[in-house]
Amino acid sequence: MEQDADRACLQSFELHESESRLYVLGTNSDRTLWRLLKIDRSEPSELVIDECSTVYTESEHPDLLKGLDEEHRSTGGIKFVTKFYGIIGFIKFLGPYYMLIITEQKRIGEIFGHPVYQVTRTSMVELANSKTRSTFQNSKDENRYRKILNALDLRKDFFFSYSYHIMRSLQKNLTDPQDGWTLYETIFVWNEYLTRRIRNCLRNTLWTVALVHGFFRQDKFSISGKDIILTLIARRSRHYAGTRYLKRGVNEKGRVANDVETEQIVYEAVPGPTEVSSVVQNRGSIPLFWSQETSKLNIKPNIILHEMQNNYEATKLHFENLRARYGNPIIILNLIKTRERRESILRREFDKAIKIINKSLSEENHLRFLHWDLHQNSQGKPTNVLDVLLKVAFRALNLTDFFYCQVAPSSETSAQWPTLLNGLDPYLCDDNNSDDTECTEIVGDVSQEDISGSSDSSGNATAEDKFENSGPPPPKPPKFQKGVLRTNCIDCLDRTNVAQYAYGLAALGHQLHALGSIESPELGLEAPLAHHLMHFYERMGDTLAVQYSGSAAHNKVFSARRGHLKLFIQSQEFFRTLQRHYSNTCIDANKQAAINLFLGYFQPQQGKPALWELESSSGEHNNDLFDDHPSTLKRVKSDGTILHESNASISGSGHCHNEPLSALQPDVQNGFQFPTSESDSFHENEISSACGSGVSHLRYTPTASDVLHVPRAEVEYCHDSGDSNFLDLEWLSTSGNSSDERSIATSTPANLSTENVISGIAPYIMENHLAEIQSQKLPQSFVQWVNDTDTFWY
């Protein structure tokens, strides 16, 4: 679109209706330009959209409405319905189409002056008119689908921006600027499926918003006389999305459950040219085929490992996807237990998979890994694990680096992006260029003193002050993050969040140092900023845990860090465990069904089994794959895959034996096809090649021979395999955190036998207590507390 008016960002909308059409009028932030969208209502089972090419001014707006009213005078004219702030998308069950819109929003922050909003209220508008509505309104199945979709509360943790591509990291936005409707096909846009038809029709995104699900928090703090904006963003992947026990491990396309990208952005709150820094890390389920069967009486159900492929093709696809998203190196921090029988099965198999994958890769592409279990190290003092994790974080940050650049912001009247002052080539920072100290800076000796107060009390000049007498400092070369730290435990919630905080703290010191706000690149655990950042990560951890598991995170380490009494910590852990267990056994099925509908995993069809009927699917009904009958709807019991008629290839996407609700891959849709984003097209190509090498395109129901049964004598991890190719575990296990330990030399790794952070509650107490309350009728107040997912304190 060549004209500036056509590129104007629509941020406010009016919905008007006539008997035959819906009219959407959209305007920009200052209401100077108006556009018109027409939606046909005569055939509500078909989506017919027409965008008027005329751009109207504010003075022409009343005349436009008057003309539309005159056009429909014979049928009663047009009526104002509501004001709203963007179209979420269109969905169809068995009857008419519905339009999902945002009727209330709340501003939660901004990035370079681009506001970010949270969805606070939504509405579903039926496209059927008064004549055709009676055909569908008495349909029991139609109403049930509507109720299922409403179980996904869009008012919780969905955010968007009209002018900033919040679904992409800052480094991607600045170094690889893109625009247009294809951005919706990135893995973090949850309403990609719902907006697919309107984007295909209009070839733009003027009328829709791209919803990101996860966490967003922003705050301002003062350091060395500067106001610094700190932003923490967590983006949940829409691929293989779901709830805790219904989405585990990896699917055939290499996509994992609970895949979350966390970005930490820091810049100074000043107008004009400024500096900005960001760092990205990742969490995701262990990329193996495994599952856990929910049990109302068993708090910790057994882990079932499905022996699918000896060459770990799906695991390899997952890491190839990470490499395509983030570059090299891929660093794996695996926090699962080594001597707990339930988790050690995955521990052994994951280590085996990494080593087999590394054999097929060049040395420069090898996966870096560290298997490290927190519990034994936290027996004496839980907060000591943060010292160890900080050492890991500094080492990982040294390998991946972080993003830093100086930007020249756009003019006030332009909606364009700020631009880098020093070019866009991410390879400007060549690690082999020894003369460029900014690009090859490594972690050296660092000071232990507290350097994060609101002013520089040490008397040491900051990097900016040193140029005060010699004019403005020369532009600094940009730094680019290459690679990513991927952290996981079993759920990728509690232990993972502690490790991600340590990495965020290590990165924050380097970010502030690059901005010239502090002299040393290290922030100690006792620094005021460390406590401020811990609050950020604790809130993020609670939010992500509620989304995936139904309760806030187990924050034993954070609570101990604050000095909470052990009794209080145990009480909180107990109730959160209880809350999580209730959600997993009683609520998650409905949540999974809503996610399946919203993301397009399951698409209702007349004459086909309904979504709720799949809950009673049994293995006897699905022993055959019915390859000769692609229109047959069925469920593959091992992974919860729902198959339905499609011209595209279909891949399995699940894990669980007794999964009550399951999913079709969102990439496979009826009708409209779209070019995929870099991540999607990468996967499709890899799947094609993988199938040629023997990876089945469909998952199957595991038999007894497919499930790995690990004898008790073999549970202990094989000590000759090593726990790390990433750093020296003997160095890591030494106490203290002095600066001379920052010089890391990788040697033959020692073996640690450690365990993970636990809630501190005896399992038999939990089970006895649960049995007692389940023998009675649960009070409504308790159920409401579980649904509201309140936390006790921060």
Domain extent listing, the chain? 1-210, 211-416+475-606
User: Side chain identity at 691, as an amino acid letter?
Assistant: C
What span, in angstroms and rounded, lies between the C-alpha atoms of 146 and 92? 10
The mean pLDDT of the chain is: 74
pLDDT at 401: 96
Please say whether the beta carbons of 263 and 233 come within 8 A: yes
User: Dmax of the chain from CA atoms?
Assistant: 85
pLDDT at 4: 45
Look at 428-442, 567-581, 609-623 and tell me which has the smallest mean pLDDT.
428-442
The residues, ordered by sequence, that sit 6+ positions from 297 with a Cβ below 8 Å of its Cβ are 767, 770, 771, 774
pLDDT at 1: 35
Mean pLDDT value of segment 77-106: 96
Model-level pTM?
Answer: 0.75
The residues, ordered by sequence, that sit 6+ positions from 280 with a Cβ below 8 Å of its Cβ are 169, 171, 261, 262, 263, 264, 326, 403, 481, 484
Share of the chain above pLDDT 70, in %: 62
pLDDT at 495: 87
Asked whether residue 750 carries a pLDDT value surpassing 80, the answer given is: no
541 DSSP 8-state letter:
H
Asked whether residue 131 carries a pLDDT value surpassing 60, the answer given is: yes
* Higher-scoring residue by pLDDT: 229, 245: 229
The residues, ordered by sequence, that sit 6+ positions from 618 with a Cβ below 8 Å of its Cβ are 637
pLDDT at 568: 55
User: Side chain identity at 366, as an amino acid letter?
Assistant: H
| b/e burial code for range 771-794 (CB count within 10 A of at least 16 → b) | eeeeeeeeeeeeeeebeebebeee
Mean pLDDT value of segment 305-319: 86
Asked whether residue 424 carries a pLDDT value surpassing 50, the answer given is: no
Peptide bond into 301 cis (omega under 30): no
| Cα angle value 629/589/88 (rounded, 5°) | 80
The burial of 74, by beta-carbon neighbours within 10 Å (0-12 exposed, 13-18 middle, 19 or more buried), is given as exposed
User: Side chain identity at 514, as an amino acid letter?
Assistant: A
Mean pLDDT value of segment 553-578: 64
Please say whether the beta carbons of 52 and 206 come within 8 A: no
* Higher-scoring residue by pLDDT: 437, 111: 111
Asked whether residue 312 carries a pLDDT value surpassing 80, the answer given is: yes
pLDDT at 45: 87
Give me the half-sphere count of Cα atoms (radius 13 Å) on the Cβ side of residue 200.
16
Mean pLDDT value of segment 345-352: 92
pLDDT at 373: 82
Tokens coding 494: 């509690």
Count of beta carbons in the 10 Å neighbourhood of residue 429: 20
Asked whether residue 327 carries a pLDDT value surpassing 80, the answer given is: yes
Helix-strand-coil split of the chain, %, nearest 5:
30, 20, 50
Instruction: Tell me the torsion sign for CA atoms 604, 610, 611, 612.
Output: positive
Let me know how long the chain is. 794
Please say whether the beta carbons of 50 and 69 come within 8 A: no
pLDDT at 65: 96
Identity of the highest mean pLDDT range in 44-48, 596-600, 626-630, 674-678:
596-600
Asked whether residue 594 carries a pLDDT value surpassing 60, the answer given is: yes
The CA distances from residue 642 to 123, 395, 662, in Å, are 28, 43, 6
3-state secondary structure of 80: strand
Identity of the highest mean pLDDT range in 184-188, 279-283, 447-451, 468-472:
279-283
Closest CA to 554 of 538, 567, 534: 538
3-state secondary structure of 89: strand
Per-residue pLDDT reduced to its tens digit, 148-167: 999 899 998 999 999 999 99
Query: Residue 393: left if φ>0, alpha if ψ -120 to 50, beta else—which one?
Result: alpha
pLDDT at 417: 56
Look at 105-109, 180-184, 555-559, 594-598 and tell me which has the smallest mean pLDDT.
555-559
pLDDT at 252: 92
Mean pLDDT value of segment 738-764: 35
Per-residue pLDDT reduced to its tens digit, 33-80: 999 999 999 888 899 999 999 999 999 999 999 999 999 999 999 999
pLDDT at 371: 92
How, if at all, do strands 33-40 and 56-57 pair? antiparallel
pLDDT at 553: 63
Please give the full DSSP string across 662-713, using - where no structure is assigned: -B--TT--SS------HHHHHHHHHHHHHHHTT--SS-----GGGB----GG
The residues, ordered by sequence, that sit 6+ positions from 201 with a Cβ below 8 Å of its Cβ are 47, 49
What span, in angstroms and rounded, lies between the C-alpha atoms of 438 and 436? 5
* Higher-scoring residue by pLDDT: 597, 341: 597
In this prediction, residue 651 has a pLDDT band, given cuts at 50, 70 and 90, of very low
pLDDT at 291: 87
pLDDT at 714: 38
What span, in angstroms and rounded, lies between the C-alpha atoms of 669 and 650? 10
Mean pLDDT value of segment 544-559: 73
Asked whether residue 674 carries a pLDDT value surpassing 50, the answer given is: no
Per-residue pLDDT reduced to its tens digit, 1-27: 333 434 568 999 999 999 999 999 999
What span, in angstroms and rounded, lies between the C-alpha atoms of 788 and 405? 41
Per-residue pLDDT reduced to its tens digit, 709-735: 333 333 333 433 478 888 887 787 764
Closest CA to 653 of 606, 599, 609: 599
Mean pLDDT value of segment 391-414: 81
pLDDT at 654: 36
In this prediction, residue 455 has a pLDDT band, given cuts at 50, 70 and 90, of very low
